[in-house]
Structure 1
């Protein structure tokens, strides 16, 4: 029987998030995570074979947390989905900043991750076609995504995030009224 792990995979992800939040994405390495967790580098690699796997696990964790805040597009329709997407963006604003940009860039360097992300966007956008309401929802969705991109790159610093989301939602609601 092997030794019982002294730290869980979930705890390692929490420590990795702390490193990114405190020092930025460039500080996240297997070695830095091992030191912060008080375990050996091999102990980290037992849970994450590579930094790429660690970054993917962080992105998967964030995605799952975010997805739990968003209603299913099939059940809510395009308008309900986009309104819940905007609400989820409002509540997760602290997680969307330049510190995460480096991790997202690292994540997207893997062709499979890039393909999975592109497939997700294609799936969402394909369900936002047809009616005027669906097209308005698609435009609002793309506006939110543009705002997120600007925020990640720091272009949007100093602009009130909440008011930008309010404006997007107001234009969406005016368009369908």
Structure 2
């Protein structure tokens, strides 16, 4: 008898991300993930006890990747931080695919997930505080990028890179 296929938790997250990119959030189920990964449903549930657990892991992974790219620290200049955020959004455009919006909506239905997301935004906005022209411009630019993400989430596809260029050009 042949050896059953095995896949790591990270490998399952990679497969789940591909399902989201190709077929959208509704297509991401434990069964679909098992089939795409070539393992049993129980194999998926060994790593993720529920779809909510899977969604939480995907969003956590994305947040960690963005935080690593932003190199967040207390000494970051607000304008430099927002420039890095814009560059991160541009570089990770595929990860921000509008098909993933449904996944995020499901993620936010869990109260703890909503609290965690609020905490992340509060920490970023705290780094953008200040009365200097640069700090004010950085806050406005950050909020503009978030607005672009929201437009994509609801299915409006503005010229992504062009708008990011315009936002970045508004920074001092």
TM-score with structure 1 length normalisation?
Answer: 0.88
Specify the alignment match of 2:141 in structure 1: 140
Contact 1:73 1:81 in 2 (8 A): no
Unaligned runs of 5+ in 2: none
Distance 2:122 2:25 in 1: 28
Deviation, structure 1 residue 39: 1.5
Shift of 1:137: 0.8
Q: Any stretches of 5+ residues in structure 1 without a counterpart?
A: none
Deviates more, 1:14-23 or 1:70-79: 70-79
Report the count of equivalent residues: 168
Q: Distance in 1 between matches of 2:140 and 2:50?
A: 38
Kindly state the Cα deviation for residue 73 of structure 1 after the two structures are TM-superposed: 4.4
CA distance, structure 2, for counterparts of residue 90 and residue 154 of structure 1? 18
Indicate the structure whose relative CO is greater, using CA pairs within 8 Å and at least 6 residues apart. 2
| Deviation, structure 1 residue 5 | 8.2
Q: State the 1:171 CA deviation.
A: 1.3
For 1:7 and 1:80, locate their aligned partners in 2 and report how far apart those are by CA, in whole Å. 39
Please give the per-residue CA displacement for 1:143-170, whole angstroms capped at 9, x wherever unaligned: 1111111122122x2x321110111111
Segment of structure 1 superposing worse, 143-152 or 122-131: 122-131
Show the counterpart of 2:96. 96
Does 1:162 find its partner at 2:169? no
Which stretch shifts more, 100-109 or 67-76? 67-76
Write the mapping of 1:33-52 to structure 2, written as runs, cut at 5 A.
33-52=33-52
Deviations 1:54-83 (A, max 9, x none): 011111112222222213242322111111
Please tell me the root mean square deviation across aligned C-alpha atoms, in Å.
Answer: 1.6
TM-score normalised according to structure 2 size = 0.91
